[in-house]
Structure 1
Amino acid sequence: AIATLIQTQQGLTDALNVGGNANANANIAQLVPNNNNNIPKISIRIPNYKGKLQENVVAWLLQIQSIFCIQGINGDDTQIHYAATG
């Protein structure tokens, strides 16, 4: 992991030095992968379930399931992460 970090930093340094500042952004864009498009994001706040007597866990689960469906969150691991962290 450290070797990869060092290689990436060296590549970024080289990209900044090649062709001046005009080409720096283009060179960096080639070195750094853009993974932001693959990460599902929720644009609304997920309600918290606290386990109080007056709370209904089934209603909460239906709310969470609806949010995931609308937002396109399909993976179980991702759904569990968002439900657990709010």
Structure 2
Amino acid sequence: MPRPREEFDDLREFQFRDPEEVLEDDQMYTVYEIARRLQGVDPERELDVETENILLDWAIPWMLDHSDAFVFAEPDDENEPGYYGLK
């Protein structure tokens, strides 16, 4: 349900960063790590499943939009996520 704009104290511009601003060029990351870096969340911090899913909801479309900037490496095990890095 929509809420009146005046109910919010902190309104900020909606901006996405480029992959080069989020990732180190000599590192490979799981999609979970990328999702956390996009939001400035410590990769070691424990998160509940719902929060992790929300972060992924933002990260996956961002990665698809910037897919030409990424390379992919297969996971070590089929039950683990793959790794992504800058091209």
TM-score (norm 2): 0.30
Higher relative contact order (CA 8 A, sep 6+): 2
TM-score (norm 1): 0.30
Bigger Cα Rg: 1
Richer in strand (by share):
2
Richer in helix (by share):
1
